[in-house]
Amino acid sequence: MMIRMQLIGTGTTPDPFRVDLPTCSGGVTNEATGRAFADVPAVDVPADVQAFVAAYPTYDLTTPLPVPFPQSLANAWAEHLARRYDLGTAKWHPVVF
């Protein structure tokens, strides 16, 4: 599923611009606004995060979301990925942005 994500990284070889997810594709980015569209496997996205994405559709890489991504959903997403990839919650902290 397509999700507009927050970009992280500095654009260098050890730290390229990227979205903070274990598996995704797309790679359409806007470094100026810090946003990117990413195609994320649905199995990596909890149902409540999918509901948030459906409730607030995005059409460009500039217009801010009408409401910020809730911290509770961010925490739930990180824990979901930690379980699925068994690498702990320190690894990924994706944010819909």
Look-up of token digits 């946003």:
35
Shortest Cβ distance from residue 89 to another protein (Å)? 14
Instruction: Name the minimum Å distance from CB 17 to another protein.
Output: 4
In the complex with another protein, the residue whose CB is nearer, 27 or 70, is: 27
- Can you tell me which residue has the tokens 């942005």? 97
Residues of this chain that bind another protein (CB under 8 A): 9-13, 16-19, 21-27, 29, 31, 84-87
In whole angstroms, the minimum distance from the beta carbon of 88 to another protein comes to 10
Give least dist CB 90 to another protein, A: 13
| Residue 69 or 92 with smaller CB distance to another protein | 92
Contacts for 37-41: CB closer than 8 Å, 24+ residues apart: 37/2, 37/3, 37/4, 37/5, 37/61, 38/2, 38/3, 38/4, 38/5, 39/1, 39/2, 40/1, 40/2, 40/3
Q: Would you say 4 or 29 has its CB closer to another protein?
A: 29
Phi and psi at 39, nearest 5°, equal -95, 110
Residue 95 is which amino acid? V
Q: For residues 31 and 60, which CB has a smaller minimum distance to another protein in the complex? A: 31
